[in-house]
Amino acid sequence: MKNGYFITGTDTDVGKTWATVTLMHYFKQQGRTVAAMKPVASGCLWQNGQWQNADALLLQQHASLPLDYALINPYAYELPVSPHLAGVANPVDLNTVIERFNAMQTQAEVLLVEGAGGWYSPINAGQDNSDLAMALQLPVLLVVAIRLGCINHAKLTYRAIIASGLCCAGWLAVCNDAEVLLGQETVATIAAALPTPLWGVLPFQAVADFERLAREVRRLGTDELTG
């Protein structure tokens, strides 16, 4: 199996896509080819003859090599609601996701997979993002938006990841609120509570500069970051 990570978050809209693209740039700076997929996405627009998601397009744009959109985002839904509701007519089939994942693994040294919403957010009528992560058997990276309530959410999500039997390889703090109070202290509290490495703290940016954000990722050893 190629090297890779499953990117999950403490909730929806916590910065998973920015974190994923940041890591793509980090690995490229280390001289590795990298690609990313977002298997399930809601809130898509009809363009280029298909439903497409802005986050998935960003992953496509920043990959080391050109990849077909259908590989990156096999389940793209129009409505901006939970995938189990948006995709009633075409529910997520994990076998299809695994097929696309396997196809992408042959094309890049590092493959990142961004989940939809939080760890237990449903992707179809009977399965959650946790089931998707377990099907792919990748180590998990937890993205935490530094805001009120995030300490509790980080602890709960970490425990849920460990309970699933998967490895939580680390966590990444995303400062997406310019006015958050005591942000550094909040990061320190979470770092003390979670027995897994803090990969970095992504500072607030109104417009993402991914090259700069990539420099905020800890310079961990290559083996430590890619397993």
What is the C-alpha to C-alpha distance for residues 151 and 69, in angstroms, rounded to an integer?
Answer: 35
Q: What is the mean pLDDT of residues 188-202?
A: 96
Per residue in 31-83, pLDDT (tens digit) is 999 999 999 999 999 998 999 999 999 999 999 999 999 999 999 999 999 99
For residue 199, the SS3 value is: strand
Per residue in 107-146, pLDDT (tens digit) is 999 999 999 999 999 999 999 999 999 999 999 999 999 9
Can 16 be counted among the known catalytic residues? no
- CA 19 to centroid of chain Cα atoms: 7
- The DSSP annotation for 58-122 comes to HHHHTSSS---HHHH-SEE-SSSS-HHHHTTTS---HHHHHHHHHHHHTT-SEEEEEEEEETT-B
Other CB atoms within 10 A of residue 176 CB: 17
Question: CB under 8 Å to 104, separation ≥6 — which residues?
Answer: 35, 37, 67, 71, 72, 111
Q: Which residues pair with 201 in a beta bridge?
A: 173
Catalytic residue among 2, 28, 38, 155: 38
pTM for the predicted model, two decimal places: 0.93
Q: Which of 20, 76, 83 is nearest to 50 (CA)?
A: 76
Domains of the chain listed by start with CATH number: 3-226 (3.40.50.300)
Per residue in 146-172, pLDDT (tens digit) is 999 999 999 999 999 999 999 999 999
For residue 141, the SS3 value is: strand
Query: How are beta strands 140-145 and 168-174 bridged, if at all?
Result: parallel
Contact between 193 and 154 (Cβ < 8 Å):
yes
